[in-house]
Amino acid sequence: MPKNRLLYKLMFICLIVLSVNASAASGAKLMHMEVDLSNQESLQRGARTFVNYCLSCHAAAYMRYNRMGKDLGISEDVLKSNFMFGTDKVGETMTIAMTNSDSLSFFGVSPPDLSVIARARGADWLYSYFKTFYVDKSRPFGVNNLTFKDVGMPHVLWELQGSQQLSLIKSDDGVNHSSTYDDLEIITPGIQSEEVYDQTIRDLVNFMVYLGEPIKLKRGKIGFWVLMYLFVFMIIAYMLKKEYWRDIH
């Protein structure tokens, strides 16, 4: 038995070490943003950006248009005229017309479904990713990303943000050292200012967090009433207990 306990302890220590190494290998510290799913206007703006710039190549096959409309306060008429470009049925999922074979031919990879990307990567990762594209003529699409090195995707929001360049930092021995987000600078302005683009990305990531877990919008309200029910039930149960044991004590 003691040998088994020692083995379990060693396995536990190994898991901790591996997790620390994995987090250390993930790269620079990510930019942070506060997710606010209670801001319906932000979610609506994020949905508009997602449909116009992401849904051409990336599907969100676990979300239906009518569910999104109901959750975000978007009418069916507005959905059909401004959000639905590949179907006329509001009950359809957010899929795309491009096939896997086409995407492999165009990009060399199959663009992932974005339904749960926020749960897989996290809001901070997505926020950092959308803000850290920079010009790299050695890449097929002419851009690279400081958060996702050698990304196989063009900077689809370039007209909003503009173009950035990465300043390489060299030490005295002439070796390039790891760059940080502060080393990025705008060289060609986009149609949005830095402040407006930042808000656009916050809205987009906010929507993608909602996309990964739509019930989260209602779960807080449901949880409040569940706790209230349990509190009232506790009072009733306590009074019944006192009444039951009154004659015995």
For 154-208, the pLDDT digits (tens) are 999 999 999 999 886 555 555 445 578 888 999 999 999 999 999 999 999 999 9
Does the predicted model carry a pTM greater than 0.85?
A: no
Pull the structure tokens for residue 206. Answer: 């906010």
Average pLDDT, the chain: 84
Q: Are 53 and 89 in contact (CB under 8 A)?
A: no
Q: Are 35 and 123 in contact (CB under 8 A)?
A: yes
Pull the structure tokens for residue 137. Answer: 């003529």
The confidence band for 4, taking pLDDT boundaries of 50, 70 and 90, is: low
The confidence band for 140, taking pLDDT boundaries of 50, 70 and 90, is: confident
What DSSP line would sit under 14-46, residue for residue? HHHHHHHHHHHTT-SPPP-----TT-HHHHHHH
Of the chain, the percentage scoring pLDDT greater than 70 comes to: 84
Return the H-helix or E-strand segment holding 64.
strand 60-64
Q: Which of 14, 19, 74, 16 is nearest to 44 (CA)?
A: 74
Model confidence pLDDT, tens digit, residues 103-118? 777 777 788 899 999 9
Write down the pLDDT at residue 22. Answer: 37
Of the chain, the percentage scoring pLDDT greater than 90 comes to: 58
